[in-house]
Amino acid sequence: MIQLIGSALKEALEGIKANKEAYLITIGTTAVSMSILGIFLIVYFNIQGMVKKWRENFQVVVYLQDNITKKDMEKLKSYFSSMLEIDEYLYVSKDQALKKFRTRLARNQTILDSLNVNPLPASFELKFKKKYRHFEKIKSIAEDVNKFKGIESLEFGEGWLGKIETMLFFLKFIVLAVGGLICVGIILIISNAIKLSLYARKDEIEIMQLVGATDWFIKGPFLFEGILQGFLGAVLSLIILYGFYGMFIDNLQASRFFIGAQSFLFITPRDVAYIVLSGVLIGYAGSYVSLRKFLNN
């Protein structure tokens, strides 16, 4: 079996050498196509990572009316304590809120010295358990909390939180759609390249069929040709991606308009392995399509 695989691989390499220009074009086209998909993946994974990091520190702030009664305050505390979704809640008094605000203002905190009355409301800061940190659940909880007496307002970034989750959904859809189209396109490209090789060796294949050569003996070299094209195209696409990624990060770090550019990450080693494996499978599929059509004629 190992000898057969070695023989098939050797013939595949000879076939690639004989049609070097066509295979180089196919590998280049495969690499560019997979690089486009890789760009979408990098953007998607980084946005997903930023949202995940933000969710770890996410909290809902419930601002209280100045005249809230002790009874209403106790009802709120009891409700928060009973909620399975809430990991912890923290009461922030008016004085604590003003102190925090002064700290945020830093050097400009002197502008508060002229205030005779503390304008900031007391509040509860709610932190949610990990599995409940998504828009629909938080919105539902916020609506329930807002029904209690003594609440002035409630803040959880409703506008932009919904937009981010919608954007993630559509970006994921685009990645899947573009990925599917690119995979089909690459299969057709590799299929056509293998088809040229098959027609170039048509007489040789017919002789092998007449003398009773096995399907594997005939198909093996062509399957390896496709697999090698897909593999090399995937590896080259990763090199292209990493080159563009490096240039992009350098430009971000050199710009004053971007903060935290160093946190923009390349795809994980696991995803690199998936891309290479996808290239191999796509190459195999392209070869298989051509072989099936050619040998069934």
State both tokens at 150.
Answer: 């003594």
Phi then psi dihedrals of residue 84, to 5 deg = -65, -30
Tell me which range, 22-26, 100-104, 179-183, 253-257, is most confidently predicted by mean pLDDT. 179-183
pLDDT at residue 159 tops 70: no
State the average pLDDT over residues 273-283. Answer: 88
pLDDT of residue 111: 59
pLDDT of residue 259: 43
d(CA 45, CA 272): 13
Which DSSP letter does residue 111 get? G
State the pTM of this model.
0.64
pLDDT at residue 67 tops 80: yes
Buried b or exposed e, range 184-216, using 16+ CB within 10 angstroms: eebbebbbebbbebbeebeeebeeeeeeeeeee
Give DSSP secondary structure letters for 218-274.
HHHHHHHHHHHHHHHHHHHHHHHHHHHHHHHHHHHHH-TT-SSGGG-PPPPHHHHHH
The distance of Cα 62 from the centroid of its chain, to the nearest Å, equals: 33
Higher pLDDT, 104 or 141: 141
Higher pLDDT, 138 or 108: 138
**Are the CB atoms for 52 and 265 separated by under 8 Å?**
no
pLDDT of residue 258: 46
**Helical spans, DSSP H, in the chain:** 2-18, 20-56, 70-82, 94-105, 135-145, 158-200, 202-210, 215-254, 269-296
- Give the pLDDT band (50/70/90) at residue 236: very high
- Give the pLDDT band (50/70/90) at residue 262: very low
pLDDT of residue 252: 59
- Amino acid at site 64: L
The full set of domains in the chain, from first to last, is 2-53+162-296 (no CATH), 59-155 (3.30.70.3040)
pLDDT of residue 235: 92
Residue 87's alpha-carbon distances to 140, 183, 232, in angstroms, are 17, 44, 49
State both tokens at 204.
Answer: 């040789």
